[in-house]
Amino acid sequence: MAKKKILVTETALRDAHQSLIATRMPIEDMLPILDKMDKIGYHSIECWGGATFDACLRFLNEDPWERLRILRKNLPNTKLQMLFRGQNMLGYRHYADDVLEYFVQRTVANGIDIIRIFDALNDIKNLQVAIKAAKKEGAHAQVAISYTTGPVFTHEYYVEYAKRIADAGADSICIKDMAALLTPSETYSLVKEIKKAVDLPIQLHTHYTSGLASMCLLKGIEAGVDIIDTAISPLALGTSHAPTESMVAALANTDYDTGLDLVALSEVREYFMTLRKKYIDSGLLDPSMLATDVKALIYQVPGGMLSNLLSQLKQAGKADQLTAVLEEVPRVRKDAGYPPLVTPTSQIVGTQAVFNVIMGERYKMCNDQFKGLVAGKYGTTPVPIDPEFRKKIIGDEPAIDCRPADLLEPELDKLRAEIPEWIEQEEDVLSYAQFPKVALDFFKKRRDKKIGIDSKNADLENKIHAV
């Protein structure tokens, strides 16, 4: 067998800390190690997108665009990668095409090389504009298959979707196992079939929740996977990913050697061990998040969704009902057309399951997001929704069967006109587009901070002139 170098994407700066500490790693915790990470020789470092954008503005008082520029400056030799929710961008609704295209343009201009694009429903209609926009800007357009299980999710389903992804112009495909549902044997056979059907590089992304990730990566590599997602060991395991160093060691001196240096990786590990201790001591990292939990295979619930469900139940004083909610999730998912459980559908289905349990009557209360999912506002579900169920949830409201974004008017100019006094950089309108209230709060804090600094500088100048 011919030798094949396996490429590695490091997730420590995005998905690893999103999975373990709710995306709370600030840029100052990243800066000291970036130089060493840049010298490792990773295929890419995933460092932006997903929930990082929201977390920067909402919790960390950081401008996500400035974070990206800092990362680009300090990682000059490494490709930077982001996660992008198709027509949802980084928010939780569908956006007009003009906003999406401008977002992609500014993303690439600020330093992103690889855009991993996915749709929560695996609806190719919701990906086409994002793929074209990424390629127009010269970025690598990787499209992710949201992997899940259920009656419709056969190998034929995934192979057909992979073919549609290739036809849409993607540069590579990622099998995105966000809920850790893959098993080693399933990984091997699925990768084999997709590889046979499409001539594109395949990247494998899976989480350690069920304890199978390393084995899945190894079997995937044997079946033809080209690139793997891993996390440096202090931020690996549990709801995160397989450890980078362990996978590098497992593949060393084989036909799949990564070529990465374990000594150099150990230096990166030392830094993140210190960081991990800080996060545990502060309570930010709950050590239980690092444990294996096969409930993922039983209830098909991603780790992040699991903690979110428990949080909702605690707020309602119903924490003892978690098992009932976990049993309700698959039933709601079936009613809603078997959506894969990934942002935003995981939140939508999970919240509805909580409502069903705590109200004591199924669908007595439905929020707008669940109604929107059933109405087709997020796209076409993998399985058609029963017409009677749809009528029960949305009444006589007409269902949407086209691409939802086709119903949206261009909105970029309108958004700009809403916040002229707050725009300090071109990208601010995009922050506002995705998180209007959160972005405005951030803009106000930014201005207050700037006024404070200007005031201090003026006082200093007055003192100097007075001398």
- pLDDT above 80: residue 114: yes
Q: What pLDDT score was predicted for residue 455?
A: 55
Percent over 70 (pLDDT), the chain = 96
Over the stretch 77-98, which tens digit does the pLDDT of each residue have? 999 999 999 999 999 889 999 9
Q: What pLDDT score was predicted for residue 298?
A: 79
Over the stretch 418-436, which tens digit does the pLDDT of each residue have? 999 999 999 999 999 999 9
Report the C-alpha gap between 39 and 75 in whole angstroms: 9
- pLDDT above 80: residue 326: yes
Determine which of 22-26, 189-193, 319-323, 450-454 has the lowest per-residue pLDDT on average.
Answer: 450-454
- Taking residue 399's Cβ as centre, other Cβ atoms within 10 Å add up to 13
Q: What pLDDT score was predicted for residue 426?
A: 96
Over the stretch 156-215, which tens digit does the pLDDT of each residue have? 999 999 999 999 999 999 999 998 999 999 999 999 999 999 999 999 999 999 999 999
Q: What pLDDT score was predicted for residue 289?
A: 84
Q: What pLDDT score was predicted for residue 312?
A: 81
Task: Quickly name the fold that domain 301-401 has.
Answer: Cyclin A; domain 1 (1.10.472)
Beta bridge partners of residue 177, listed in sequence order: 206
Over the stretch 266-295, which tens digit does the pLDDT of each residue have? 999 999 999 999 999 999 998 888 988 887
pTM surpassing 0.85? yes
Q: What pLDDT score was predicted for residue 300?
A: 75
Band the pLDDT of 305: cuts 50, 70, 90.
confident
Domain boundary assignment for the chain: 7-288, 301-401, 412-466
Angle between helix 345-359 and 322-335 (nearest 10)? 120
Percent over 90 (pLDDT), the chain = 83
Q: How long is the chain?
A: 467
Q: What pLDDT score was predicted for residue 467?
A: 54
Q: What pLDDT score was predicted for residue 334?
A: 95
Report the C-alpha gap between 397 and 366 in whole angstroms: 15
Mean pLDDT of 112-126: 97
- pLDDT above 90: residue 3: no
Mean pLDDT of 118-138: 97
Mean pLDDT of 103-108: 98
Query: 7-288 with 301-401: one CATH topology?
Result: no
- pLDDT above 80: residue 466: no
Comparing 371 with 302, the larger pLDDT belongs to 371
Q: Say which CATH architecture domain 7-288 belongs to.
A: Alpha-Beta Barrel (3.20)
- pLDDT above 60: residue 38: yes
Report the C-alpha gap between 195 and 180 in whole angstroms: 21
Query: Cα 48 to the chain's mean position, in Å?
Result: 9
